[in-house]
Amino acid sequence: MRINATERTRITSRSNAKGKTAGGTFVPQSSTTSQSAAAAATVRTSPVVSIDTLIALQENEDFRQARKKATVRADELLDVLSDLRLGLLEGAIPLRSLHRLSATLERTRANTGDSRLESILNEIEVRAEVEKAKLDSAL
């Protein structure tokens, strides 16, 4: 970077007559008072906004927990179905896995709020119900 000028810059001062009286005291302008009134109104309403935000965050957390629980339940169902498949490949119906499947299916599932996840969970549950019905009829 090249610096061509070595002179000092001059400081200019402006005298602003607005807001000053002859005695040198400060007099606020009318726009300043309206701005401070608007700021005071904003401060008064901010706790309400904070409450709405907290409620929204709590609802979001409820859906996250419901999603997590539903996913854990789906994993349990898939594990039991895998155990049943392995048992059938060995030539026996694993009764313990069948009882575990029944117990898992009897628990109600919370609404996750996600239509794609609900669709996948429904498919897993239908497959588990079909396998349970087939094994119950075989006994």
* 94-109 average pLDDT score: 83
Q: How confident is the model at residue 99 (pLDDT cuts 50, 70, 90)?
A: confident
Give the residue, 6 or 52, on which the prediction is more confident.
Answer: 52
Alpha helices in the chain (DSSP H): 30-89, 95-106, 115-138
Above 80 in pLDDT, residue 83? yes
Q: With 80 as the cut, is the pLDDT of residue 67 above it?
A: yes
Q: Is the dihedral of CA 56, 62, 64, 67 positive or negative?
A: negative
Tell me, yes or no, if the pTM score tops 0.75: no
pLDDT in tens, 25-40: 665 565 555 565 555 5
- Taking all residues of the chain, what is their mean pLDDT, rounded to a whole number? 74
Q: What is the DSSP string of 37-65?
A: HHHHHHHHHHHHHHHHHHHHHHHHHHHHH
The percent of residues above 70 in pLDDT, for the chain, comes to: 57
- Residues counted in the chain: 139
Nearest in space to 128 (alpha carbons), one of 50, 52, 76, 58? 76
